[in-house]
Amino acid sequence: MRIEKNKIDEHNYLGLKEHQRKFDFIASDLMNTKEILRKLIDFQVAIPSWALGTGGTRFGRFPGGGEPRNLEEKIEDIGLLHTLNKSGAAISLHIPWDIPDNAVHIKALGTQYGLKFDAMNSNTFQDQPGQTHSYKFGSLQNVNPETRRQAIDHNLEVIQYGIDLGSESLTVWLSDGSCFPGQLNFRKAFLHTLEGLEQIYAAIPEKWKMFVEYKAYEPNFYSTTVGDWGQSLLYANKLGKKAFTLVDLGHHLPNANIEQIVSLLLMEGKLGGFHFNDSKYGDDDLTVGSIKPYQLFLIFNELVEGMDARGMDHAKDLGWMIDASHNVKDPLEDILQSVEAIMITYAQALLIDRRMLVEAQSNNDVVSAQEILQHAFRTDTRPLVAEARLNAGGALDPLAVYRNERVREKLIKQRGSKAMATGL
Ligand SMILES: [Mn+2]
């Protein structure tokens, strides 16, 4: 389904006076409102095709109804979200959950909704029906060369789908690892994986980026073969200039200093992409900003500082993607909340007084440094984000429009209460 522009205009008209009051208040304090609004408008986050259905856990899944039944409907849903918030102009596909049987048609459909195809994701963490070799004991690390070959071939196939759709990156996340001491020779597992990644890398088109995503644990609980940013960086450095590390917020051991990781990867020119989510304990895949908003702010602080130091374009030079999905919310509402949290936090990071911060740091003025950061973090940037959205043709309050328009009810009517999206 689509939401007509006049519905959004109606909603904006009703909220405009109150919005203007709030926006004028924050803008009166800023010297560079126009520049901030421009950056907010340009900043786009890719939505993963697997976040459109209710995520399950290994204990069960509770579908909410009206989930997209095919790739076309997934694109339709992401298009609908983008109509509302104008910040999600890209879709990230997962193969084999979303094989584009007719790439020309799928690409054209994306264009109709103003969407591009962001990073392609391969899957060698589960067996597909009819698959010759099992990934039970890993894919690229596997002791059987034929299993490794199969995993490489799958990635080559994913690259080809990406080329057809106009994507420009491949994300490789491997669940490879071991559950028990002695199960694996770490060195051999690493070298096999490197050899496989090299073969995949060789098929990466010149303009593309290859993202090597790491994860501390789960589904393997003793070792993971791409387990942390150090291992990912090792691979990326060995592979070459088109290979980068991808940071997923949920893929660290508890209390890891993710902002420091981000800063150093950026310094090395090896940070390629980012998966947003939030967590309390492990890879919980909760809504962005729902648990640790200050940590998200500190990460954005390093992203903005590090990208500016290298003269990078915030909107284009890193891959921004949401990677979250869970059991209890309407997944589309959840994505609206996640994107909103990202935009609010990005805006806060843009407000940090960099000159004052550098001065405080060079004087070892710890108190001022904290004050400068927290002043930005405690600024309510929601009116800035809403103004940017208004200028871009979106809704002042996307969630309110979504609910007023009874989108979920309409989707259930259209697709049925038992419709289930492919994915986890
Ligand atoms: Mn991820």
Could you read off the pLDDT of 124-161 as tens digits, one per residue?
A: 999 999 999 999 999 999 999 999 999 999 999 999 99
Q: What is the pLDDT of residue 56?
A: 76
Please give the distance, rounded to the nearest whole angstrom, from the Cα atom of residue 91 to the centre of ligand 1. 14
Please give the distance, rounded to the nearest whole angstrom, from the Cα atom of residue 219 to the centre of ligand 1. 13
Taking Cα atoms as reference points, which of 398, 303, 282 lies closest to residue 345? 303
Which of 2-11, 57-66, 100-109 comes out lowest in average pLDDT?
A: 57-66
Please give the distance, rounded to the nearest whole angstrom, from the Cα atom of residue 248 to the centre of ligand 1. 5
Average pLDDT over residues 176-201: 98
Please give the distance, rounded to the nearest whole angstrom, from the Cα atom of residue 305 to the centre of ligand 1. 23
DSSP 3-state helix, strand, coil percentages of the chain (rounded to 5)?
A: 50, 10, 40
Q: DSSP letter at 166?
A: T
Q: What is the pLDDT of residue 421?
A: 80
Please give the distance, rounded to the nearest whole angstrom, from the Cα atom of residue 326 to the centre of ligand 1. 14
Total-model pTM: 0.97
Please give the distance, rounded to the nearest whole angstrom, from the Cα atom of residue 247 to the centre of ligand 1. 8
Please give the distance, rounded to the nearest whole angstrom, from the Cα atom of residue 18 to the centre of ligand 1. 38
Please give the distance, rounded to the nearest whole angstrom, from the Cα atom of residue 283 to the centre of ligand 1. 9
Please give the distance, rounded to the nearest whole angstrom, from the Cα atom of residue 66 to the centre of ligand 1. 25
Average pLDDT over residues 333-360: 98
**Separation CA 296–CA 317 (nearest Å):** 19
Please give the distance, rounded to the nearest whole angstrom, from the Cα atom of residue 321 to the centre of ligand 1. 9
Please give the distance, rounded to the nearest whole angstrom, from the Cα atom of residue 271 to the centre of ligand 1. 14
Average pLDDT over residues 398-424: 91
Please give the distance, rounded to the nearest whole angstrom, from the Cα atom of residue 382 to the centre of ligand 1. 27
Please give the distance, rounded to the nearest whole angstrom, from the Cα atom of residue 15 to the centre of ligand 1. 36
Report the DSSP pairing between strands 46-48 and 90-92.
Answer: parallel
Average pLDDT over residues 178-184: 98
Please give the distance, rounded to the nearest whole angstrom, from the Cα atom of residue 30 to the centre of ligand 1. 35
Are 220 and 177 a contacting pair, CB within 8 Å? yes
Please give the distance, rounded to the nearest whole angstrom, from the Cα atom of residue 276 to the centre of ligand 1. 8
Please give the distance, rounded to the nearest whole angstrom, from the Cα atom of residue 291 to the centre of ligand 1. 18
Q: Which conformational region is residue 257 in: left (phi greater than 0), alpha (psi within -120 to 50 degrees), or beta? A: beta
Please give the distance, rounded to the nearest whole angstrom, from the Cα atom of residue 416 to the centre of ligand 1. 30
Please give the distance, rounded to the nearest whole angstrom, from the Cα atom of residue 213 to the centre of ligand 1. 7
Please give the distance, rounded to the nearest whole angstrom, from the Cα atom of residue 174 to the centre of ligand 1. 10
Please give the distance, rounded to the nearest whole angstrom, from the Cα atom of residue 395 to the centre of ligand 1. 28
pLDDT surpassing 90 at residue 326: no
Please give the distance, rounded to the nearest whole angstrom, from the Cα atom of residue 348 to the centre of ligand 1. 24
Could you read off the pLDDT of 214-251 as tens digits, one per residue?
A: 999 999 999 999 999 999 999 999 999 999 999 999 99
Please give the distance, rounded to the nearest whole angstrom, from the Cα atom of residue 273 to the centre of ligand 1. 10
Please give the distance, rounded to the nearest whole angstrom, from the Cα atom of residue 54 to the centre of ligand 1. 17
Please give the distance, rounded to the nearest whole angstrom, from the Cα atom of residue 214 to the centre of ligand 1. 8
**CA-to-CA separations, 100 to 95, 129, 162, 333, in angstroms, rounded:** 9, 18, 10, 26
Query: Sign of torsion, CA 104 407 291 351?
Result: positive
Please give the distance, rounded to the nearest whole angstrom, from the Cα atom of residue 404 to the centre of ligand 1. 32
Are 156 and 208 a contacting pair, CB within 8 Å? no
Q: What is the pLDDT of residue 424?
A: 61
The percent of residues in the chain predicted with pLDDT above 90, rounded, is 94
Please give the distance, rounded to the nearest whole angstrom, from the Cα atom of residue 11 to the centre of ligand 1. 35
**CA-to-CA separations, 189 to 142, 201, 224, 268, in angstroms, rounded:** 7, 18, 10, 26
Please give the distance, rounded to the nearest whole angstrom, from the Cα atom of residue 310 to the centre of ligand 1. 25
Please give the distance, rounded to the nearest whole angstrom, from the Cα atom of residue 349 to the centre of ligand 1. 23
Please give the distance, rounded to the nearest whole angstrom, from the Cα atom of residue 320 to the centre of ligand 1. 11
Taking Cα atoms as reference points, which of 328, 305, 307 lies closest to residue 316? 307
Token pair 């099992």 is found at 134
**Separation CA 387–CA 23 (nearest Å):** 7
Taking Cα atoms as reference points, which of 62, 88, 56 lies closest to residue 75? 88
pLDDT surpassing 90 at residue 61: no
- DSSP three-state, residue 120: strand
Q: What is the pLDDT of residue 423?
A: 67
Please give the distance, rounded to the nearest whole angstrom, from the Cα atom of residue 410 to the centre of ligand 1. 30
Please give the distance, rounded to the nearest whole angstrom, from the Cα atom of residue 22 to the centre of ligand 1. 36
